[in-house]
Structure 1
């Protein structure tokens, strides 16, 4: 990465990498257990919570004041 890239762009690229890892097939098998939380299987619950977390973080980074 070049030094001229804005911090916001670097954070969004890092968030993309985090999302890539979070939604990666081999890592998703960690959540594939026969466990129910609030009546929902663990894997779909982990997927939706992780996805919502990524969206919230992306919105927070995109709307943060500072470099654009």
Structure 2
């Protein structure tokens, strides 16, 4: 079975959003946080990194090439 990723999003009565990412190792979890920020039209104000963050994703690089060339 493939490594499944999961995002659990909770919104309290005051409108604060909490997102928990599991199954995304290394810096890949940051991509999911960006997705949640886009979905709720907000910015992360606090984060707690789990042990998964310090692991390498199997078969993938944590590097993301970025270019602003037009």
- TM-score, normalised to structure 2, is 0.30
Higher helix share: 1
Bigger relative contact order, structure 1 or 2 (CA pairs below 8 A, ≥6 apart): 1
Structure number having the greater strand percentage: 2
Q: What TM-score results when the alignment is normalised by the length of structure 1?
A: 0.30
